[in-house]
Structure 1
Amino acid sequence: ITLERRIPYFDKLMGFAVFFPQSEKAVAKYGSKYGTASKYVLYNGPFKQVGWTGSNLSWKMVKNPYYWDKKNVKLDTITWSVQKTPSTAYNLYQSNKLDYTGLDASQTKQLKNQKGYVTLNQGATFYLQFNVAKNKYLANTNIRKALSLAVDRKGLTSSLGGNSVPANTLTPTQLTDVNGEDYTKRISKSAKSFYPASTNKKEAVKYMNKGLKE
């Protein structure tokens, strides 16, 4: 691969599905049907998908006999099913008809002390974005700073449920280490000061007044 310019994180990008290799022959053979059902896809991973028609709610992942490291693949079959509500999925799990299910925010509040409850970090950050194009006040940097400082992130994430934690960086913690410590610990205190876990009313008022004058 020849790049137009250096990209230091290029190898990390290659882990995303959009960059996975594809068979040119298969794409040409299946045409517009490519990727629309199990039989119109090729598989180079530890499993191949079987029984997905494009609209059905259950299919299987079957061990791929051509996978390069197949001797270390311990499972022969994984059955996937789509449940339309979290409560249905949880009831099936309780009835031993599912081995695993995700929980919605309210369920995590009720069930976090139950046996089998496991937390897996998503490595994602969710945030609110200001519409600076249609609001002259939000177009002001200091007013946006004031609103950011006025948000009680700790209270907000707690009320949402789940395992959400307050974010003071755009990217989440635990993605990578720098010199033996989580990279987010190396972010300057001045940057963190604009994204406090709890409301900083004094600073919020200062920036709001400054922004309104502007």
Structure 2
Amino acid sequence: MPIIAPQHAWKDKEHVPSEEWPDDCGVQWGGSGLVIGQEPGSSRITAFFEAFPAKGGFFRGEGATIADAEAQALRKFRRKQACVSHAWARDKWTNGGAICRKCGAFEVAMHPVVRLGAWRDALGVMELDSIASGFLRPRPGDDDRQRKWRKRMALRAAVAGIALPDMPPGFTDHGFDDPYVHACEAAVGAWLRRHSIPSVDAENGLGALLEGLSRHSLARLAENDAEAPDAP
């Protein structure tokens, strides 16, 4: 059984996710999710299902019902599992994200394209969302690329003026109820209330979808004025 987001103890709790998802895969869903469009009037409401496997990747399905949305996400997951030799392409991504030209899966599968002085660049919506999600904390099994990414992002957050909590020693996986993550969310939320949420850069496709989801998440953080809890 996958790891179910805590809000489903009360929200859309009638849905039971498929056991086909890995046990270390986080899942969440909703019967009325907002998809932010790039053009005025193009936003829409749909049932959705999202899966975040621990081994990487992101799978989102949409449909008339949550069950339909999960079925679509599972089809994408199965396509990736069946793809024995991915052909990763950067497309417009420069942060290491890539799309498989065979199965269409998304994953951080490449080294990021680093430009001199890039650490001074303004943070984008997906970078802010990653910072708020606690992804700057080192994890067991990090390779050199991942360690460099976390250190660089921490530097950029400091330059931008985000008062992140102290990094807890070691790594403990608290699942969806992580005090360090809550503290990061509060820090980014406080920063957002002093600044505007960055615009979405991608015009269409998966990039626009992911950036739209990050923007929606940041808008929620900006509206929450709760103080940051103490990180462990």
Q: Normalised by the size of structure 1, how large is the TM-score?
A: 0.24
Answer 1 or 2: which has greater strand percent: 2
